[in-house]
């Protein structure tokens, strides 16, 4: 998918260097039209909503594609693929040497420049593209350290799915090893990656030594369900209290809304679906409920209480999901600097 973005500059400027006859986004659209709906549909699954929207509009604009335009786009794309292959086989110098022999020094420099960060081949690329449920089944009998290494390279949502699929007694051990992991040798990473390559797909590893750590674990725990998160934290509190405390400081859960000031709660409620709030509050203590009630008008608080009483018993899974959606809103607002979470141990803010 990176090659398509290099060709089309989908999410950035429409200009390529040197300036092409066709805009980058138009060239990407022409390529997708030529590849057909099945292949293009697969590519779309790996693009953002904004990129899909931009490309869809561009595809709709294409009324007539000349043979010259098609040949130009396909040639350019093939050159990018060739550069990626050469780089994977022997690195940047090797790719530059072969490209210079194939298309000449000037063109080789242009292609490599356009490739940019796409030449940074990520380790465990095959695992990143694999179905997480299948991957979990494949590695569940592996040592916790091996599993921790693998999921440290994956997208947090995929790692969360894999962690949830592990036996409960293994979840905490994997989480602990992931949190304490600071670096690993390239040789070990490649050995583990080669194991997965035989099962999933072939790809080259790279010298990436920094993996895992608490930040990685926090991202993953933010994606798992509350019961899995609770089990891991509670078990870790027994096995390694200091590590558990450090993780809890960094891991925001719904009950941590108590750490948000009244202005922040009022801002949060503008983003929250009222139905989510009524379900989420069914599973918390009176202190948390009061945090919201006191930041509403008296009438709004009474209506919320009436709705909670009217809905009756609620499944714990529905409560967890509603709370997670609100937590995502909290994280989004904190990232924007619109609310402040006064975590224990952090310096107080001065107004």
- The pLDDT tens digits of the residues spanning 13-55 come to 333 334 345 567 788 878 878 777 777 777 777 777 777 777 7
3-state secondary structure of 1: coil
Q: Which residue has the higher pLDDT, 85 or 200?
A: 85
Closest by CA to 181, choosing from 211, 136, 219, 207, is 211
pLDDT for res 175? 92
pLDDT for res 116? 55
Q: Which residue has the higher pLDDT, 115 or 100?
A: 100
CA angle 333, 162, 254 (to 5 degrees): 30
* Residues whose CB is less than 8 angstroms from the CB of residue 138 and which lie 6 or more positions away in sequence, other chains included: 196, 199, 200
pLDDT for res 126? 72
Token pair listed for 38: 């099945």
pLDDT (tens digit per residue) in 192-224: 888 777 766 543 333 334 455 777 777 777 667
Mean pLDDT of all residues belonging to the chain: 77
- Percent of the chain having pLDDT more than 90? 17
* Residues whose CB is less than 8 angstroms from the CB of residue 124 and which lie 6 or more positions away in sequence, other chains included: 150, 153, 154, 193, 196, 203, 205
pLDDT (tens digit per residue) in 295-344: 999 999 999 999 998 888 888 888 888 888 898 888 888 878 898 887 65
Domains of the chain, each with CATH number or no CATH = 2-119 (no CATH), 125-250 (1.10.220.30), 254-335 (1.10.220.30)
Q: What is the mean pLDDT of residues 267-289?
A: 91
Q: What is the mean pLDDT of residues 89-97?
A: 68
Q: What is the mean pLDDT of residues 254-278?
A: 91
Closest by CA to 231, choosing from 304, 143, 170, 320, is 170
SS3 sequence, 41-90? HHHHCCCCHHHHHHHHHHHHHCCCCCHHHHHHHHHHHHHHHHHHHHHHHH
pLDDT (tens digit per residue) in 101-110: 887 877 777 7
CA 304 to chain CA centroid, Å, is 34
3-state secondary structure of 252: coil
pLDDT for res 283? 80
């Amino acid at each position: 998918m990176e090659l398509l973005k290099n060709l089309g500059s989908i999410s950035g400027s429409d200009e390529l260097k040197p300036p092409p006859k066709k805009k980058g986004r138009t060239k990407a659209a022409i390529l997708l039209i030529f590849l057909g709906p099945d292949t293009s549909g697969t590519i779309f699954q790996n693009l953002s909503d904004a990129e899909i929207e931009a490309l869809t509009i561009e595809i709709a604009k294409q009324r007539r594609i000349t043979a010259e335009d098609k040949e130009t786009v396909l040639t350019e794309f093939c050159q990018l693929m060739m550069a990626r292959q050469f780089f994977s086989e022997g690195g940047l110098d090797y790719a530059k040497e072969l490209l210079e022999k194939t298309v000449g020094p000037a063109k080789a420099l242009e292609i490599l420049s356009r490739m940019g960060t796409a030449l940074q081949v990520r380790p465990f690329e095959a695992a990143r593209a694999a179905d997480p449920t299948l991957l979990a089944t494949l590695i569940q009998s592996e040592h916790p350290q091996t599993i921790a290494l693998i999921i440290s390279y994956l997208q947090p949502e995929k790692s969360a799915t894999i962690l949830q699929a592990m036996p409960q007694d293994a979840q905490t051990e994997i989480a602990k090893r992931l949190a304490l992991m600071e670096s690993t040798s390239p040789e070990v990473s490649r050995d583990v990656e080669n194991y997965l390559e035989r099962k999933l797909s072939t790809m080259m590893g790279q010298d990436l030594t920094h993996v895992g750590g608490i930040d990685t674990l926090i991202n993953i725990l933010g994606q798992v369900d509350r019961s899995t998160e609770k089990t891991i934290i509670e078990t870790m509190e027994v096995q390694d209290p200091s590590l558990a405390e450090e993780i809890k400081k960094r891991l925001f859960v719904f009950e941590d809304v108590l750490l948000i000031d009244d202005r922040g709660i009022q801002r949060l409620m503008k983003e929250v679906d009222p139905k989510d709030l009524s379900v989420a509050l069914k599973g918390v203590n009176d202190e948390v409920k009061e945090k919201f009630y006191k930041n509403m008008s008296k009438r709004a608080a009474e209506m919320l209480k009436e709705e909670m009483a009217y809905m009756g018993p609620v499944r714990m899974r529905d409560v967890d999901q509603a709370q997670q959606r609100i937590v995502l809103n909290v994280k989004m607002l904190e990232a924007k600097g619109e609310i402040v979470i006064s975590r224990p141990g952090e310096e107080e803010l001065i107004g």
